[in-house]
Structure 1
Amino acid sequence: MLRRRAHKKSRRGCSECKKRHIKCDESVPQCGFCLGRKLDCMYGDSVAPATPSPKAQSPDSSSNRLLEAKLLHHYYTNTSNTVSSPSDYHQWHNLFPEAATSHAYVLDSVLAFTALHFAYLEPNSRQTWLEIGSHYNNRACSELRRVVGQVSASTLRPALVCSIYIALFANARIALLGDKIQSSHLADILQTRTLLKGCLFFHQTMENMNIRSGLRMEQYLWRDNPSENPSSPSPVVPGPTVRRMGTLVLEKFKTEPGQGNQSRFEICAIACQGLIDSMDSQYTVETQGRNLFLWPLSLDDSFMELLQTNEFPARLVFSLYALGIHFFKGFWYIGEAGYRLGRELLPLSEPVSEYWVDVTTSLRAEFEIDRAVQF
């Protein structure tokens, strides 16, 4: 009797194919079997690397190679232009992509961020691109966690580059998911703060080891001149509005008549003053954008505890940050994130004590200036 010819076992197949003991073609974001049967296709940490050697590739992987070629081409011709300007062109077009040529996890992070740009440009295919982006981002994060435990002079630069794209991915995901986001907007924004701390860790470690990165920390994470790209209109300068509203909030902290609140008001006042200072009128819109983007890194644990326990004074201060972000909604990877965060921090349905009504009403109005809809 003829026996069925056994197939070569793959250790990198998806969970559904492994469960059914069938060969997985290892396509992403879904293998052929799961795609045809509309199943959730999940790969483990041992999924095949983004840049397998020619010998390891099978005919089934050709679709993956074409997808990655499409993503890379789009990064160089489109996505990189949305995060670069003449002053830092070399960084985004040469320095960062160079790390992806020798480190698969850096390549994965570039592909992930680019996939989300496709999700922005092609709303009818948004879910597909979000899944593709998440697949590559998960692989990049998994490998980066391993690298963190083995930091060396040779791994720091690629780890830093990867962490930057992962942070940008997190911002873009928040912008694209919008109100479909499953967690709170605040929780997701705080997660990006954690990712920024990771970028800062690699940057500072490079400095401590006397490894020149060639750039200041803030230049990794903010474009110098968004008006260079017609698809990203130049934002209105956020400084005057944030300073004006911040000063109103600060005065409330200094004169609040309640008892037993002095400590938390002092904590919030320090955070508020730091944000006001970062929006100083001497700074250009680009510098204000950088300062705003990095401001959450300056917040100490005492303020973060107040914010995470839903203390109103801390929410009021953080809504100033949301207001600043709202001015940069022209960036595709920011979008309406500031507005949605402000709506969550200062909901209309929440009763506010008489002492805070005026400043809360004014802040809500600032978010509603250019739209008919309300919180």
Structure 2
Amino acid sequence: MMRRRHKKSRRGCLECKRRHIKCDETRPQCINCTTAERDCSYPRATSSDGTSTGHSPVEGPAGARYSVSASPPMTSYAPAPTSGLMIGGDMPSFGLGGPAGHLPDINMVHMELLHHYLTNDLTSYPEMAEHFKHVSMRHALREPYLMYQILALAARHLCYCRPESAVFYQTQAIQLQTRALSLFNSLDVGYFDRSISNLATVFLFSSQLGVQALCDMLSYRDHDFPSALARFMGYLRLHRGVHRVLDGHRAEMVGSDVGPILELGVQWYNVGGEGHECDDIRRRIMSVPDLDAESLDATLKAIDLLQWVIDGEPRAAGRAHVLLSWTTMIGRSFVDLLEAGRPEALAVLAYYFLVLHYCREVWVFGSSGQYFLTSLSNYLGPEWAPWIETPCRLLRQSLEREDAESLDHVDSSLFLADPGQHSVGGGVYWKQPSM
């Protein structure tokens, strides 16, 4: 069967062309660049008189309400064959909101993604997997932005399941998520106040967007921690930006079809927060002289929430769900401290990386916790080693419990200092020399 021809955009901005995503061609700043906070510029066209008619990079509008962006593409995947898979256009249409008589494109890849979503648990709700999928599909059939995000998450999971075809599925994931966010950003403000059902849809969208965005962020291995922190803050803004529309509406949503999912989080919260792993960092934060009251309270809340994650659910899958909630529950003042690179706030983030390691069996996280905690330790250096001694010690103990002998064979790519040693919070793993 011949592939249906489609019109290729030749007037898109340079940034969208570089990222290989569809540009909506809005000038002077397209939607993709506006939501991703990127410099947007268009190719300079030359008129008949030889003068330039292009646009120069401009700043995007600040403070746009609920404006969020797709995750950047990954770069480390091998190519995969695509012949025989694409039947329709590049993006699914679903025939929702289009002109009368419009027939949607049929794309078998999207059918594959939908089947994968329905037959796998991708969102770390172990007790609620089937209910979550059932409710998500019910809302997605009414709201296209959620359907696009569902397909994007399925594509991202298939990158993990089928590494030999990861570049193909990651391209699908980026395109579908970009479309989902474009539709979400186009919603009018009244949409969020119109019904509880709409808010429930946003909750489902936020949950699944957060999983994909975090997975994308953790998949990178930056050469320096400031670059990794910048990428983490991009994820934080994205997840919090979508979730912010739910502020003040949680009690109302308890009576909706997402109520059981919200109640499950409350149950986990009620059994957490009684451990002592975070006692040292809490004591140190309370002794910082130049933190104002609001920043201090927000930082202590972030620490208490991490203790809640550590205590609340021992299984990796349950912990993953609670951990994903952490980024939406921390206060804005603490986020500001992270953005400013305050070492005290980064020391709190070390405990977050520790919990990532505890969740390493979940596909989203893998070995990222160990990598990021090691990177942070090397970045802070000996001066701040006492501040993160506890998470580094707990990481060492966890690795030693897995297999004491495996320390001799840890991938040398994780060693950011001398290749003969592995520095974590003042402690050093010495590697056996090759014989």
Whether TM-score is above 0.5 comes out as yes
Alignment of 1:292-303 (within 5 A): 292-303=323-334
Alignment partners' CA distance in 1, 2:202 and 2:333: 30
Alignment of 1:1-375 (within 5 A): 13-16=7-10, 41-45=20-24, 50-52=93-95, 56-57=102-103, 61-62=105-106, 65-78=107-120, 80=121, 83-85=124-126, 87-151=127-191, 152-153=194-195, 155-179=198-222, 184-194=227-237, 195-196=239-240, 198-199=242-243, 201-202=245-246, 204-205=248-249, 207=251, 212-215=256-259, 218=262, 243-254=275-286, 260-261=289-290, 263=292, 266-267=296-297, 270-271=300-301, 273-275=303-305, 277-279=307-309, 281=311, 283-285=312-314, 289-346=320-377, 348=378, 350-353=380-383, 356-368=384-396, 369-370=398-399, 372=410, 373-375=414-416
Distance 1:217 1:137, change over 3 A: same
**Aligned-pair distance for 1:293?**
3.1
SS in 1 for 2:278: helix
Higher RCO (C-alpha 8 Å, min separation 6): 1
Q: Counterpart in 1 of 2:44?
A: none
Alignment partners' CA distance in 2, 1:359 and 1:81: 35
Equivalent position amino acid for 1:132 in 2? Q
Alignment partners' CA distance in 1, 2:130 and 2:199: 19
Distance 1:187 1:337, change over 3 A: farther
Alignment partners' CA distance in 1, 2:395 and 2:296: 26
Bigger mean CA deviation after superposition, 44-53 or 110-119: 44-53
Alignment partners' CA distance in 1, 2:299 and 2:125: 35
Equivalent position amino acid for 2:338 in 1? L
Bigger helix share: 1
**Aligned-pair distance for 1:316?**
0.6
Unaligned runs of 5+ in 1: 1-9, 20-33, 225-237
Bigger mean CA deviation after superposition, 103-112 or 179-188: 179-188
Q: Counterpart in 1 of 2:41?
A: none
Equivalent position amino acid for 1:270 in 2? L
Alignment partners' CA distance in 1, 2:226 and 2:307: 31
SS in 1 for 2:23: coil
Equivalent position amino acid for 1:364 in 2? C
Alignment partners' CA distance in 2, 1:365 and 1:122: 35
Equivalent position amino acid for 2:364 in 1? Y
Q: TM-score normalised to the size of structure 2?
A: 0.60
Distance 1:99 1:45, change over 3 A: farther
Equivalent position amino acid for 1:319 in 2? A
Equivalent position amino acid for 2:206 in 1? S
Distance 1:120 1:220, change over 3 A: farther
Distance 1:148 1:246, change over 3 A: farther
Equivalent position amino acid for 2:358 in 1? F
Equivalent position amino acid for 2:284 in 1? K
**Aligned-pair distance for 1:44?**
2.8
Alignment partners' CA distance in 2, 1:262 and 1:104: 44
SS in 2 for 1:184: helix
Q: Can you list the C-alpha shifts for 1:216-239, whole angstroms capped at 9, x where unaligned?
A: 6656989x9xxxxxxxxxxxxx98
Alignment partners' CA distance in 1, 2:181 and 2:236: 16
Distance 1:206 1:44, change over 3 A: farther
CA RMSD in angstroms comes to: 4.2
Alignment partners' CA distance in 2, 1:218 and 1:188: 28
Aligned residue pairs: how many? 319
Identity %: 16
Unaligned runs of 5+ in 2: 26-89, 400-406, 417-435
Alignment partners' CA distance in 2, 1:350 and 1:206: 38
Bigger mean CA deviation after superposition, 272-281 or 147-156: 272-281
Alignment partners' CA distance in 1, 2:264 and 2:240: 11
Q: Can you list the C-alpha shifts for 1:194-221, whole angstroms capped at 9, x where unaligned?
A: 4145335337447458962442665698
Alignment partners' CA distance in 1, 2:234 and 2:247: 19
**Aligned-pair distance for 1:148?**
5.0
Alignment partners' CA distance in 1, 2:231 and 2:262: 21
Alignment partners' CA distance in 2, 1:83 and 1:73: 18
**Aligned-pair distance for 1:360?**
3.3
Alignment partners' CA distance in 2, 1:344 and 1:325: 14
- Confirm or deny: 8 A CA contact 2:136 2:204 kept in the other structure: yes
Q: Can you list the C-alpha shifts for 1:143-186, whole angstroms capped at 9, x where unaligned?
A: 01112534122633333322322122112222434449998333
Q: TM-score normalised to the size of structure 1?
A: 0.69
Q: Can you list the C-alpha shifts for 1:262-282, whole angstroms capped at 9, x where unaligned?
A: 64894576246523652575x
Alignment partners' CA distance in 1, 2:305 and 2:19: 44
**Aligned-pair distance for 1:105?**
1.8
